[in-house]
Amino acid sequence: MTRPTFRAESLGYRVNDLARLLAHALRDRIAPFGVVPGQFPQLLALYEEDGLTQAELCRRVRVEQPTMANTLSRMERDGLVTRAPDPADGRRSLVHLTVRARMIEDDLVSAASSVNVDATRGVEQERLSTFMAVLAELVDNLEGRPAASPSVADGGSTP
Amino acid sequence: MTRPTFRAESLGYRVNDLARLLAHALRDRIAPFGVVPGQFPQLLALYEEDGLTQAELCRRVRVEQPTMANTLSRMERDGLVTRAPDPADGRRSLVHLTVRARMIEDDLVSAASSVNVDATRGVEQERLSTFMAVLAELVDNLEGRPAASPSVADGGSTP
DNA sequence: CCTCGGTGGATAGCATGCTATGCACAAGAC
DNA sequence: GTCTTGTGCATAGCATGCTATCCACCGAGG
């Protein structure tokens, strides 16, 4: 046998699977509101604070700038946001939610919550807490440093 | 405050983040071999069993058929697989690995393993086991039934 | 003022994923 | 034998994500 279960056991493989399933479930539930999953992080960030610049949105939702530019264009097309030039800086434009986007906030958050609830149905609370904590650790490992040699002690590094 | 932390705490949000980070890390490490992350599941499935049909590949890696058709076209273009008509059934074609694809198997598996190792560095084994187990439960919840009425009994529906 | 490096944003080009269709072939109904 | 149904695959069209570039504007140095 080669590695008959590597695929099934690989972290990356399974996480990718789960991400697609979650996105699919979310898509189904927010379609009635004329929103697609890729617009969700931007909307949530703007619900938290409106009138951000594109660059600031990139930092908060952690996607690359061209991705954000394209997504915002679609959101503008779909009547979710408007882009107005920043009077204080000719390079920037400020992204604002439309009235429509604000009106569907509760619906969207409910839809997303229901996906999370469905996905975690039957999972013990403590195990779920561990899951979320480990998830955060994995993200930290991957986005923090590219990881060097951690085998020994970890003190004294980056002097 | 509206929901200042819903975004940061949402399962779907975090899982999507992690999936992109993992894919990015994998991309960096397999680029030298002329392979991209989206080809990985197909390669692993074919390493397990060569000569599958496109439909069977779809079932095993769980992507939709048009996605598979496009991915296989790119893999064919990149010299990783060949598609030969099935003599036993005029509709089907059988997907076979090329010599080149077989030669880089060990490198690819090593690269993927190293991503998993890096991502899980410093995570206790038991917590990691819980993580993987919960991950599987979440996938089951989402892909099983669309979930109906969970609170009471589930018998008697769809008479 | 003018040049320059840095930042903000847009565009081009590509990989992955999806849904919706269309067409070819297989296999059974008649 | 033909017709109907189902299966396998391709294509069109779109959403998301990325990298690589390019242009425009800001602010500091001269």
Q: Considering only residues 61 to 100 of chain A, which have any Cβ-Cβ distance to chain B shorter than 8 Å?
A: 62
Q: In what order do the strands lie in the sheet with A93-97?
A: A52-53, A93-97, A81-85
Is the CB of residue A57 less than 8 Å from the CB of residue A44? no
The residue among A45, A47, A76 whose CA lies nearest residue A60 is A45
CATH fold, domain A38-100, is Arc Repressor Mutant, subunit A (1.10.10)
Q: Which fold has domain B12-116?
A: Arc Repressor Mutant, subunit A (1.10.10)
DSSP 8-state code for residue B122: T
Spans of chain B, pLDDT less than 70: 1-5, 144-159
DSSP B90: T
The domain limits of chain B are 12-116
**Reduced to 3 states, what is the DSSP secondary structure of residue A92?**
coil
What is the reported pLDDT for A134? 96
Most A-contacting residue of B1, B6, B7, B24 (CB-CB within 10 A), to test interface = B7
* pLDDT of A7: 72
Question: How many secondary structure helices (H) and strands (E) does chain B include?
Answer: 8, 3
Nucleotides of strand C lying closer than 7 angstroms to a protein CB? 6-13, 15-21, 24-27
Handedness of CA B49, B98, B51, B74 (dihedral sign): positive
Which amino acid appears at position A82 of this protein? T
Whole-number pLDDT of residue A103? 95
CB contact under 8 Å between A127 and B109, yes or no, is no
- Dist. CA B94–CA B98, nearest whole Å: 13
Q: How far apart (Å, rounded) are the C-alpha atoms in residues B9 and A115?
A: 13
- Residue A82: exposure state from Cβ atoms within 10 A (0-12, 13-18, ≥19): middle
Which of A10, A119, A137 lies nearest to residue B11, judging by beta carbons?
A119
Rounded CA separation B14/B19 (Å): 9
Q: Are B60 and B42 spatial neighbours (Cβ–Cβ below 8 Å)?
A: no
Give the pLDDT confidence score for residue B7 in this predicted structure. 72
CB pairs under 8 A between A and B: 178
Q: Dihedral (C-alpha) A106, A109, A115, A118: value to the nearest 10 degrees?
A: -70
**Do residues B109 and A6 make contact, with C-beta atoms less than 8 angstroms apart?**
yes
A-chain residues within 8 Å CB-CB of B125? none
Q: Which residues pair with A93 in a beta bridge?
A: A85
Distance, angstroms, CA B90 to C1' D3?
A: 20
Structure tokens at B9: 């705490």
Instruction: State pLDDT tens for residues B111-137.
Output: 999 999 999 999 999 999 999 999 999
Burial of A32 (0-12, 13-18, 19+ CB in 10 A): exposed
Q: Are B108 and B30 in contact (CB under 8 A)?
A: yes
Side-chain half-sphere exposure of B128, counting CA atoms within 13 A = 14
The list of chain A residues with pLDDT below 70 reads 1-5, 144-159
Range list of β-strands (E), chain A: 52-53, 81-85, 93-97
